[in-house]
Structure 1
Amino acid sequence: MTSSPIRVAITGGGLAGASLVHALLAHSHLDVHIFESSPAFKEAGMAIGVARNALDALDLMGPSASQCLQQAGAVSMRGVRFMLAQGEGAGSMIDEAHDNDGQRVVHIVHRAAFLRELLANVPPERMHASKRLDHYVETSHNGVDGFLTIHFTDGTTHECDILIGADGIHSTVRRLLLGEDSPSAFPRNTGAWGIITMRPFAEAQSSIGKDYINKEDAREYSWVGNGTYFMHNVLSEGEMVQMILASHDKNAESPDDWQRTVSADDLKKLYQDWPPHLYKAVNEVRN
């Protein structure tokens, strides 16, 4: 007797959903489909750090997942250095997580490139764009409960045995599962904000210096100041450098505000006492 495959529906076509569908497709007893609310499967962010635990998880998925990371141009950091940017001892290293113990620290990869590789071998008939989840209904089959019919806002439906929400911080699955009255169903803005930009390697090295931007000794740097933060790392096979500026605005703590405009004057004030080479890099970000 041949049993029916387990039907798995994944909502959310970002890196989480793409990683999951990539891993599950290797198992023939699973009928896996992935649904994305946008018209296309794409990533809006820049780069991410895939750290030790995540690298181990990719290994558990099988060699193809780790190969996707490399094919996407990921750069392995030899260490992550935490640096003091202001006050006494500015420019000194606070601590470092490094690979001297033989363990991988973190790989930096562009989101869009990694997503493309993870989805490259997914059959087109398993990928469904423009499918925004509206609700699901529990059903039964031959007297057995636990089956689901998921309904999309375009009026279509899909039947499955397992529904997995990989639909991000504003997850519809989380809201439907926990209920409209649950505070855990709705995220809250903590007031932290960040500006992310990419620079060609040569330009970034010219601003920050060869001591900190080095293809042959690639490391991530996290500079910590008084209420300010600046991180940079190397990606895209060493061709690009990602820079992240961040701070916190207590007045922006709200469940509704998810975007903030930061002016050039704001950045100038926040980073004015930073070391010259870092302040120069900040100026280039705001320009």
Structure 2
Amino acid sequence: MSLKVAVIGAGLGGLTAAAALYARGLDVEVYERGEALREQGVGMHLGPNGTRLLERLGLGPRLAELAVRPEALEVRAFHNGAKVAEQEMGEAWESRFRAPYLTVHRGDLHRMLASLVPDDRVHTGRELVRFAEDADGVLLEFADGTTARADVLIGADGVHSAVRRAVAGEDAPVYSGNSALRGLVDAADVPDLDPTRMYMFAGPAARVLCYPVDGGRRFTYVAVTPSPEGDAESWTSAGDRADLDAVLAGWAPEVRALVDAAGEVRRWALYDRAPLERWSTARTTLLGDAAHPMLPHHGQGANQAVEDAVALAVCLARATEDAEGITAALERYEALRRPHTTRVQLGSREGARPAPPRGDARPGGVAAAAEDVTWILDHDVEAALEAAPEEDAPGAEPATVAALAA
């Protein structure tokens, strides 16, 4: 017999958790409110701290096929495209950090992770509306009238997490003052950009990041610009190509080529939340955006969810199957992860500061920025678990019956 674990949410974090738990022999079931598995979005970054864990789950060959290992990041002036700085990446970073830095389409990674979890372990159309802990586990109730029981409940249900509200109470989103316009273009439509490299154009009131995905066949672009609060707290809201055109009027020819090639544009209002003081009760915990939604300026949102998922799977795989063992495992997971993710979360806020008007041309400027995240990229969460002392965790109060639907 093994622990029965219920994962709420089949996004990147939830599926990584399910894959890591299943690989360690735990009895895992995933419940997704959507009617089908679907990951919207564009490209994303996988730092070495994330890729080393995904490779250990067996995704190395698929990542090699569909992701890109950028050879360098070029910082260019917004007005004429002149290169002002360059950070070597590629083989140099793979050697330094013991795993590659990759860029990949979110949908590709989502499908890879889904392939690691048996189809009969993933249940769609199951919106959690209520759960309650008792001496024997957790009772889950869904909007369709069905119920389920588990020994452990994991809330991986994103920034609007229902499980988060039940565990930590209501909190308010914190607006960064910026929004991001983003989308995809074919690499053939921007021939002056090398599909083995990443680019940043730093302007006085906006900055554009562009990087390859789909094995170099397409580029993701992200234009971050000040924006009045009022947009929905969503990363998939429809944008307007006219807004992109207006924000980037007069920019370098390479940027204008991106605008001309842009099809569907998405607007992402950049919110995060204040770090939580606790993530867990006796049998329930959080991971990913449900625990620590963060701004994208370190490119670490998905990576931190992957780290959470693997760390939690390791802790639960080692747990005894009694109530005390489960609580101790969740406390150990939270004690390891919460200080780390809080530091990343707050550092991502600092990364929102505007760039100099002609790009960061200071000597070593881009290299210094890269050094700021070295500690993140170098982190190996499994090694950290091995190094951390395994102490008895304090008991947590069980969650009371929690109504999650309005």
TM-score tier, shorter chain, comes to: 0.7 to 0.9
**Aligned partners of 2:161, 2:62: CA distance in 1, in Å?**
26
| Matching residue within 193, 204, 212 for 2:190 | 204
Structure 2 Cα separation of the partners of residues 162 and 135 of structure 1? 15
Tell whether 2:30 aligns with 1:26: no
| 2:199 paired residue number | 221
Q: Which has the larger radius of gyration?
A: 1
Question: Which of 40, 51, 54 in structure 1 is aligned with 2:36?
Answer: 40
Q: Which amino acid aligns with 1:246?
A: V
Q: Secondary structure at the match of 2:61?
A: helix
Residue segments in structure 2 that go unaligned for 5+ positions in a row: 265-406
Equivalence for 1:119: 114
Deviation, structure 1 residue 123: 1.8
Q: For 1:267 and 1:257, how far apart are their aligned partners in 2?
A: 19
Residue 175 of structure 1, CA deviation: 0.9
1:65 aligned residue: 59
User: 2 CA distance for matches of 1:105 and 1:69?
Assistant: 10
Query: C-alpha deviations, 1:162-196, integer Å up to 9, x for none?
Result: 1111111111111111123xx2xx43443422222
Q: Distance in 1 between matches of 2:88 and 2:140?
A: 44
Structure 2 counterpart of 1:144: none
- For these two proteins, the number of residue pairs brought into alignment is 258
Q: Indicate which of 78, 81, 102 corresponds to 2:74.
A: 81
Equivalent AA in structure 1 for residue 163 of structure 2: V
Please, which of 148, 152, 155 is the counterpart of residue 162 of structure 1? 152
Q: Structure 1 residues 116 and 257 mapped into 2: Cα distance closer, same or farther (>3 Å)?
A: closer
Are the aligned partners of 2:72 and 2:89 in contact in 1 as well (CA < 8 Å)? yes
For residues 228-267 of structure 1, the aligned pairs below 5 Å read 228-249=206-227, 251-252=228-229, 258=234, 259=237, 261-262=239-240, 264=242, 266-267=243-244
d(CA) in 2 for partners of 1:130, 1:109: 27
CA drift of 1:253 comes to: 5.3
**CA drift at 1:54:** 1.1
Structure 2 counterpart of 1:153, from 140, 143, 149: 143
Give me the whole-angstrom Cα distance separating, in 2, the residues matched to 1:97 and 1:170. Answer: 37
Q: Is the 8 A contact 2:210 2:221 kept in 1?
A: yes
Greater length-normalized contact order (CA 8 Å, ≥ 6 residues apart):
2
Alpha-carbon shift at residue 197 of structure 1 (Å): 2.0
Aligned residue in 2 for 1:128? 123
Change (3 A) 1:224 1:125: same
**In 1: Cα distance, 2:245 partner to 2:186 partner:** 23
Change (3 A) 1:58 1:37: same
Distance 1:188 1:95 in 2: 33
Cα separation, partners in 2 of 1:274 and 1:253, compared to 1, 3 Å: same
**Structure 1 position 95, deviation (Å):** 4.7
1:120-157 Cα shifts (integer Å, max 9, x gaps): 2422221100111112101123xxxxx11111111211
Q: What's the TM-score once normalised by structure 1's chain length?
A: 0.80
The correspondence of residues 101-120 of structure 1 with structure 2, limited to 5 A, is: 102-103=95-96, 104=99, 106-120=101-115
Residue aligned with 1:80, SS: strand
Which stretch shifts more, 189-198 or 154-163? 189-198
CA distance in 1, matches of 2:146, 2:61: 35
On the 8 A contact 2:190/2:257 being kept in 1, the answer is no
Distance in 2, matches of 1:42 and 1:9, equals 19
In proportion to residue count, which structure has more strand? 1
Q: Specify which of 181, 185, 192 is matched with residue 195 of structure 1.
A: 181
Give the secondary structure class of the aligned counterpart of 1:252. coil
Structure 1 residues without counterparts, runs of 5 or longer: 142-146
Runs (4 or more) in structure 1 with deviation over 6 Å come to: none
Identity of aligned residues (%): 25
Note the C-alpha offset of 1:49: 1.0
SS in 2 for 1:112: helix
Contact 1:77–1:105, Cα closer than 8 Å, also in 2 = no
Deviation at 1:66, TM superposition (A): 2.8
Structure 2 Cα separation of the partners of residues 43 and 284 of structure 1: 23
Following superposition, the deviation at residue 257 of structure 1 comes to 5.6
